[in-house]
Amino acid sequence: MLPLDPQADIGRRAWVPCPGCADTRDCEPCAERRTCSLHWRYLLSNKGSLLHLQCPGCTHVWTHETGFGATRSLWSRVTSGLPRPAREP
Ligand SMILES: [Zn+2]
Ligand SMILES: [Zn+2]
């Protein structure tokens, strides 16, 4: 397992399925592309439509091409967080 990236910030999260652990399988909110409280990724950085992500579950790091550009609507969809994020036990 990799260590968490120093840029990992619970205040900046994205809801993208992890290619490393596929933990969103069989999860209803994730299947509906809602902001699941269990399955989210640290948004380390972004460049245009490319998101640099790290999975808190398996610490997999990857780049996700959204294909939409960093528009306002994308940001509200990808990074709209929950009001009070709880840390996983
Ligand atoms: Zn993962
Ligand atoms: Zn989920």
CA of 1 to the centre of ligand 1 (A): 11
- Ligand number, closest to the Cα atom of 18: 1
Q: How far is CA 70 from CA 14, 17, 27, 57, 79, in A?
A: 13, 18, 26, 25, 11
Whether this model's pTM surpasses 0.85: no
Distance (Å, rounded) from C-alpha 37 to C-alpha 28?
Answer: 11
CA of 19 to the centre of ligand 1 (A): 7
For 68-78, the pLDDT digits (tens) are: 654 545 455 56
- Ligand number, closest to the Cα atom of 54: 1
CA of 39 to the centre of ligand 1 (A): 9
Count of beta carbons in the 10 Å neighbourhood of residue 2: 10
* Alpha-carbon dihedral 26, 9, 67, 81, rounded to 10 degrees: 60
For 18-48, the pLDDT digits (tens) are: 999 989 999 999 998 889 999 999 999 988 8
